[in-house]
Amino acid sequence: MSKKKFEIPAFSETIHPALKAAFGYRFMHAALKYRKTLLDILDEYGMVPPQMAILEILDGSESINQVSLGSELGLDKVSIVRMIDGLQELEYVKRVQGKEDKREKIIQITKEGKETLVALRKRNVAREKKFLSPLTAAEAETLKKLIMKL
């Protein structure tokens, strides 16, 4: 599948001195930096972040229909179809007909999708560890807990 790489526009590794005191800018910068590391990994698999989220949800679900999946991720019908189409093209998911409503499309993760998700999770652990490496272990855990409060 030939996908155009998902880019973060005008991302710079450094923060201009005039912006270092602005909490919102620093917070956004850290989030963009973290996201860029994810994009670099997913690009190798021909995927974008919402597609990894789809695999995560599907891995923990018996079955979920396309509409519910889009709702869980906050994606409109066109976007969720496009994301699922891409994953189906990669053979990471499959669509099956609903049992009760034949018009319903149930999305299921495939064996290839599960294997890819396992590999992505391993890479994500290493990515997170590297990203948080300027912090002590205690600081990293505190940051994770604090972010969940926001």
Closest CA to 107 of 123, 126, 128, 83: 83
In whole angstroms, how far apart are CA 30 and each of 17, 27, 106?
A: 15, 5, 36
The pLDDT-based confidence of 1 (bands split at 50, 70, 90) is very low
pLDDT digits (tens, 9 = 90+) for 13-67: 777 788 878 898 888 889 988 999 999 999 999 999 999 999 999 998 878 999 9
Please tell me the distance from the alpha carbon of residue 148 to that of residue 4, in angstroms, as a whole number: 32
What's the longest Cα–Cα distance across the chain? 60
CATH architecture of 19-149: Orthogonal Bundle (1.10)
pLDDT digits (tens, 9 = 90+) for 64-96: 999 999 999 999 999 999 999 999 999 999 999
Q: What are the sequence ranges of the domains in the chain? A: 19-149
Looking at the DSSP bridge assignments, the partners of residue 107 are 64, 95
